[in-house]
Amino acid sequence: MNARNQEEPLPRRPLLTVRMAGTYTGLGERYIRRLRAERRIPCVRIGGRLLFDPDDLDRFIESHRQPAARP
C-alpha cells in the first residue's frame, strides 16, 4: 500500500492539565479535581499526571445544560 492510500489521522486537540481544565471550563482547578475523584469526568493518567480531553469536558458541560425558562 502506498502513502497516498493511507488515511491520515484526524488532528487531536491537546490534552489539558488540571489547571488548564479548570480555566477552560471556568470551574476552577479544585472543582475539576473533585469531579475526577468522584469519577464524574474521565481523565488520562500519563506518568502520574492527570490530563483531560477537551471533548470530554465539553460533553460534561453539555450534559448539565438546562433549557431556558419560558416567559
- 11-53 pLDDT, tens per residue? 888 999 999 999 999 999 999 999 999 999 999 999 999 999 9
What range does the domain containing 53 cover?
A: 12-63
Q: Is 44 part of a structural domain of the chain?
A: yes
Higher pLDDT, 1 or 68: 68
Q: Is 22 part of a structural domain of the chain?
A: yes
Provide the number of structural domains found in the chain.
1
Question: Per-residue pLDDT for 3 more than 60?
Answer: no
Question: Per-residue pLDDT for 2 more than 70?
Answer: no
Q: Is 40 part of a structural domain of the chain?
A: yes
Q: What is the pTM of this model?
A: 0.77
Give the HSE-up count for residue 6: Cα atoms under 13 Å, Cβ half-sphere.
5
Q: Are the beta carbons of 32 and 22 closer than 8 angstroms?
A: yes
